[in-house]
Amino acid sequence: MSVEVPDTDQLLSMTRPASYGDDTPDGNARGGAFHLSSVLPAISSAIGHPIPTTVHADPKHLQEALGLPDASSAVVVLVDGLGYWNINMRLGHAPYLRSLMADSANQRPIATCMPSTTVAAMSTFGTGTCPGLTGMTGYTQLNPDIGEICQLISFKNAPAPMELQRQPTIFERLTAQGVRVTSSGLPKFAFSALTQAALRGSDYISNDDPRRRIMTAANAAWTPGLTYVYLRDTDKIGHNYGWDSDKWIGAFERVDAQLGLLRRNLPKGTLMVIVADHGMITADPECCVDIAADPRLMRGVAKVGGEPRCVMLYAEADEKPEDIAARWRETLGERAQVRTRRQAIEEGVYGQVASYVEPMIGDVIVSSAGATTIVDSRTQTEKAMHLPSVHGSLTRLESDIPCLIDIV
């Protein structure tokens, strides 16, 4: 039986922020054990070396909730930008993923973090915690030490990776127990700031050739332990050409072929888990809001961070965040959800928030609804303001991600 895909309006409807913890959600609740932060703690339990975290105290419960069997060797693949509904809407192009989705155990999404964007999600995944503890709360955010906006892919203007992201990673904690942990990826990511912050601790084996990266991962899995593979093309192509473009479908087909190749070369008994950091929506150019073009939105705002689907506003010294939030709500109406920092923390949007992280979060957080994007022509390039596909907000299309399980 295949997954029934909701209509576009439903997929673009806003969800409530996912919760953190070990509870199995019911009703309209999201997250808990069914969350990106749960995946590596659950796998650590499955391979016999359970790693509890500040957010998840019971890795064994997470393993059981997600339906992961015990295995001496596990491979986890994170496919950037490949949301649960993005997969299901293009499943005809992906024979291997289609075979996995036919299993009822895989016919439920899990939730990613808020914002549903790579830097926040990678650190949530890598540490098994939450953005409020990792300090990685958006694509760009305030660096309180210098009073400037920093970018967390390249870490431009940012604190040093391990100064900002202080939570231990699952990889380094497994390595400290003597467990083999191998990452197979592009050379450019081996020592990147983002890898140091979110995914440090593995034996990183790099190769420019996609097939060799897959075979490196498959060969590593013959030794008990954990293997990690990152595939980026669906996100990269989605941003440049649109997630529903022919070019994206081609990238999706290549990803499916790589996953199938990996599966065929793994030793019998290996646990294979496929996840993503977020999904993607198609932006509507008619629904693009330029902050710089509207004095009501600019009033009282000193700096702007975040991204087009989740903007963080930093207030001028004499401005009340509640007043900025009220103006934005009045101006944007149903095009966005607007929260003050205090409201977001009280709602658990970022999970538990460390005291040093709190000033990094915007005084006001604006989550785009529908296909709306919010840009700032004072600081962003034309390309950045008009990406055909984007992510970061709380719609189902962006925040529902796969957790697909295969046993070789």
Tens of pLDDT, residues 25-54: 887 789 999 999 999 999 999 999 999 999
Give the C-alpha separation, 68 to 46, whole Å. Answer: 7
> Percentage of residues in the chain with pLDDT exceeding 90?
98
Angle between helices 39-46 and 59-66 (to 10 degrees): 100
pLDDT digits (tens, 9 = 90+) for 387-404: 999 999 999 999 999 999
Same domain, 100 and 138: yes
Same domain, 274 and 297: no
Same domain, 168 and 258: yes
Domain annotation covers residue 128? yes
Count of structural domains, the chain:
2
Domain annotation covers residue 325? yes
Give the C-alpha separation, 6 to 143, whole Å. Answer: 40
233 and 257 Cβ atoms separated by less than 8 Å: no
Same domain, 183 and 42: yes
Strand partners, 305: 312
Residues in contact with 146: Cβ distance below 8 Å, sequence separation at least 6, in sequence order: 157
Same domain, 228 and 147: yes
Q: What is the DSSP letter of 273?
A: E
Strands 225-231 and 73-79, how do they pair? parallel
Same domain, 89 and 106: yes
Domain annotation covers residue 63? yes
pLDDT for the residue 192: 97
Same domain, 227 and 313: no
The CATH number linked to 374 is: 3.30.1360.180
Phi, psi for 93 (deg, rounded to 5)? -95, 5
> Could you tell me the residue range of the domain that residue 132 belongs to?
8-282+395-407
Same domain, 79 and 206: yes
DSSP string, 82-140: --HHHHHHTGGG-HHHHHHHTSGGGSS-EE--SS-SHHHHHHHHHHTS-HHHHS--SSE
Give the C-alpha separation, 202 to 248, whole Å. Answer: 30
390 in helix, strand or coil? strand
CA-based nearest residue to 16, from 132, 85, 86, 114? 114
Give the C-alpha separation, 255 to 79, whole Å. Answer: 8
Q: What is the DSSP letter of 25?
A: P
H helix runs in 233-320, sequence order: 233-241, 246-264, 295-298
Give the C-alpha separation, 222 to 155, whole Å. Answer: 35
Please give the structure tokens belonging to residue 390: 């984007």
DSSP string, 337-381: EEEEHHHHHHTTTTSS--TTTGGGS-SEEEEE-TT-EEE-TTTS-
Give the C-alpha separation, 125 to 88, whole Å. Answer: 22
pLDDT digits (tens, 9 = 90+) for 52-93: 999 999 999 999 999 999 999 999 999 999 999 999 999 999
Mean pLDDT over 145-150 rounds to 97
- Rounded to an integer, what is the distance from CA 132 to the centroid of its chain? 14
Q: What is the DSSP letter of 54?
A: S
Work out whether the CA dihedral 294, 296, 297, 298 comes out positive or negative: positive
Domain annotation covers residue 276? yes
Amino acid at 223: T
pLDDT for the residue 28: 77
The CATH number linked to 257 is: 3.40.720.10
pLDDT for the residue 349: 97
Mean pLDDT over 8-33 rounds to 92
Q: What is the DSSP letter of 246?
A: H
pLDDT for the residue 67: 97
Domain annotation covers residue 1? no
pLDDT for the residue 127: 98
Phi, psi for 324 (deg, rounded to 5)? -60, -45
Same domain, 304 and 196: no
33 and 25 Cβ atoms separated by less than 8 Å: yes
pLDDT for the residue 1: 61
Mean pLDDT over 297-310 rounds to 97
pTM of the model: 0.97
Q: Please indicate whether residue 1 or residue 104 has the higher confidence score (pLDDT).
A: 104
Domain annotation covers residue 2? no
Same domain, 114 and 251: yes
Domain annotation covers residue 176? yes
pLDDT digits (tens, 9 = 90+) for 162-198: 999 999 999 999 999 999 999 999 999 999 999 999 9
Phi, psi for 313 (deg, rounded to 5)? -110, 130
- pLDDT of residue 329 exceeding 90, the answer is yes
pLDDT for the residue 29: 83
- How far the first Cα of the chain sits from its last, in Å, is 22
- pLDDT of residue 248 exceeding 70, the answer is yes
143 and 304 Cβ atoms separated by less than 8 Å: no
Mean pLDDT over 204-221 rounds to 97
pLDDT for the residue 27: 75
Same domain, 184 and 321: no
Same domain, 382 and 340: yes
- Rounded to an integer, what is the distance from CA 398 to the centroid of its chain? 9
Domain annotation covers residue 211? yes
